[in-house]
Amino acid sequence: MNNKFQTLDDRQPYILAITGASGAIYAKTLIAYFYQHNLPLICLATRVGKKVWEWEMGVSLEKALPTSVSLYEEDDWWAPVASGSVKAKGMVVMPCSMGTLAAIAHGLSRNLIQRTADVMLKERHPLIIVPRETPLHAMHLENMLFLTRLGAIILPAMPAFYHRPKDIQDLANFVVARVLDHLGLPHTLIPSWKEMANIEA
C-alpha cells in the first residue's frame, strides 16, 4: 500500500456520540484515552446528552473536552460526519439512550448522531453501541437485535467485578476497555486475563 495513504488513513478520526442515558463517565474515560494517545476524535452530543453529562460530571461537556476534540451539536447537518464521503475508523455511541437506540435501529436519521450512525451502517464501518437502561422491554431487545443483524456491536454498559474494582472509575474502565478491544486499540485500563489469574486471593 502507498505510504502516503497509509499515513492519511492513520489520521482518520474516531467518532464518539454522547446521548442522554446515564453514564457520562464512560464517555469521559474514552475521551481521556484518545487524548492520552494523541488519536483524532470527533465528539457529537445530543441536547439531553450534554445536560446529563453536566449533571453527572459537575462540569459542562464543552469545558471538559480537550481543545483537540471538535464537538458538533445534534442539529449541525453541515458537520463532516453527516456525509458518507467522510471516512471514520469507527463510531461509538456511549452512553446510548433507548430513544437513540430505537432511532438508529429504524434508520430515522432525525439528528446528527442518528444520521452519522446510519452512515456508519451503510458504509459498513464499525459502529459500537453502548446502551444503558434497566430493565429492558421487548422493544428495547428487538431494537438491539435489529442493530446486531445490521452489523452494529451492542456492548451494554455492564461492568464486571472479576477485576476487583476499587472505585467507580475501575468499573467504568471495564466497559471502556471492552469498547477499545472492539476498536482494536491497545490499552491497560484493566488487567489482562493472565494478570488477573495471578492476582493473589
Ligand X SMILES: Cc1cc2nc3c(=O)[nH]c(=O)nc-3n(C[C@H](O)[C@H](O)[C@H](O)COP(=O)(O)O)c2cc1C
DSSP-derived 3-state class of residue 145:
helix
Member of 12, 54, 57, 99 binding ligand X (CB under 6 A): 99
98 sits near ligand X (criterion: CB under 6 A)? yes
Select the residue whose beta carbon is closest to ligand X and give its number.
20
Rounded Cα–Cα distance for residues 7 and 14 (Å): 15
Helical residues (DSSP H) of the chain, grouped into ranges: 3-10, 24-36, 47-57, 61-64, 98-105, 112-122, 138-150, 168-183, 193-197
For the chain, percent helix, then strand, then coil, each to nearest 5?
45, 15, 40
- CA 114-119-122 angle, 5° bins: 125
Indicate which single residue of 35, 133, 146, 170 sits in contact with ligand X (rule: CB under 6 A).
Answer: 133
Q: Of the ranges 59-67, 96-104, 116-124, 144-152, which one interacts with ligand X (CB under 6 A)?
A: 96-104
Nearer to ligand X, 57 or 69 (CB): 57
Q: Does 50 bind ligand X (CB under 6 A)?
A: no
- Residue 154 binding ligand X, by CB under 6 A: no
Cell of 169: 472509575
Our finding on whether 155 is near ligand X (CB under 6 A) is no
Binding to ligand X by residue 12, rule CB under 6 A? no
Query: Which chain residues interact with ligand X by CB under 6 A?
Result: 19-22, 46, 48-49, 52, 55, 97-100, 132-133
